[in-house]
Amino acid sequence: MPEKIGFVGVGRMGANMARRLQECGYPVTAVFDANPGVADTLAGELSCVAADQLKVVTALSDVIITVVTDDVAMKRIFLNGLLHRAKGKLFINCATVTPAIHRWVQDKCEAKGASSLEACMASSITQAREGKLYLMCGGKPEVFERAKPILEKLSSSLRYIGTTGKAAEVKALVNMVMNANTAALAEGLGLGAALGLDLTMLREVFSQTGANSRVLETDGEDMQNREHSCFFSAAHAAKDSGIAVKLAKEQGMTLPLAVATKKQFDRMVAEGLGELDKSGIAELTFKGRKGMPQ
């Protein structure tokens, strides 16, 4: 029998992961979200329980997948009932949080006779729905092996990175570089627009030269057209660049580009643009924009 799956955090990523696993034959038994209406809607769709308490998710599930926003949220769920009668349960944690929090979660789980694995995602909402996530995992090898059949249904690329915290370090670096690429692309297109260049032409030239990047493919046209429907928010970009900057400080290093990028995304948040997609950073770099798209 497939293991029963519970979800904590069923925003767009978590909800699509739940849909995918149910389609693949894994029974989703319970869902919980800080926004009860979101959990109620998904529970109705999947015919499962919308839990009003975290301990209910644990009680009804063999494997609990968490997809929450940050360190504070991660600590909150594990301190507020998720580990009640958790012996034998497996917690797979997919949020982008600091490596230290993943280590803290592992210690808390093991004290209760449970297991935990970090499964950091470098993917979008669409990929979650299609089972094509890029997953980087950290934890004990035997825990990874238990989780592997489930994670293979969610991913097109599954990598075991190492001990707990190591996958989070890699994810922080992935997002640090991605965010810096996004900020640089926004400046390049913004300057191109100010010079009167045809931006479609400019993007084509970028794609065939050293200016090419994955961000150009995903965000370039959106920056040009001011289409910032959210797949990865500016607020999350600011948080994730902050994780990398903190890791650098712990190593006695300074990362000027990462710091500058974080400041740009922090500025978006301060100006009320934090829930735009990261492509919305172009609103800060194109002359005459500096605000919400009209």
Residue 138 falls within a domain, yes or no?
Answer: yes
Residue given tokens 């940050």 in the structure block:
70
Residue 220 falls within a domain, yes or no?
Answer: yes
Could you give the number of structural domains in the chain?
Answer: 2
Q: Find how far residue 195's CA is from the centre of its chain.
A: 36
Residue 134 falls within a domain, yes or no?
Answer: yes
CB 164 within 8 A of CB 148: no
pLDDT value at residue 174: 96
Domain that holds residue 158: 5-163
Per-residue pLDDT of the chain (294 residues; tens, 9 = 90+): 899 999 999 999 999 999 999 999 999 999 999 999 999 999 999 999 999 999 999 999 999 999 999 999 999 999 999 999 999 999 999 988 999 999 999 999 999 999 999 999 988 888 999 999 999 999 999 999 999 999 999 999 999 999 999 999 999 999 999 999 999 999 999 999 999 999 999 999 999 999 999 999 999 999 999 999 998 999 999 999 999 999 999 999 999 999 999 999 999 999 999 999 999 999 999 999 976 665
Phi, psi values for residue 3, rounded to 5°: -70, 145
Q: Do both 57 and 10 map to the same domain?
A: yes
- Which of 110, 129, 163 is the last residue before a domain boundary? 163
pLDDT value at residue 235: 95
Q: Do both 125 and 241 map to the same domain?
A: no
pLDDT value at residue 277: 95
Residue 112 falls within a domain, yes or no?
Answer: yes
Q: Do both 40 and 121 map to the same domain?
A: yes
Residue 269 falls within a domain, yes or no?
Answer: yes
Any idea what the CATH number is for the domain that residue 271 is in? 1.10.1040.10
| Other C-beta atoms lying within 10 Å of the C-beta of residue 100 | 14
pLDDT value at residue 3: 96
Any idea what the CATH number is for the domain that residue 152 is in? 3.40.50.720
Angstrom distance (rounded) from CA 243 to CA 177: 12
Phi, psi values for residue 33, rounded to 5°: -145, 150
Q: Do both 54 and 154 map to the same domain?
A: yes
H/E stretch holding 114: none
Q: Do both 240 and 213 map to the same domain?
A: yes
pLDDT value at residue 104: 98
Phi, psi values for residue 83, rounded to 5°: -95, 10
Angstrom distance (rounded) from CA 152 to CA 163: 19
pLDDT value at residue 1: 81
Pairing type for strands 133-138 and 115-121 reads antiparallel
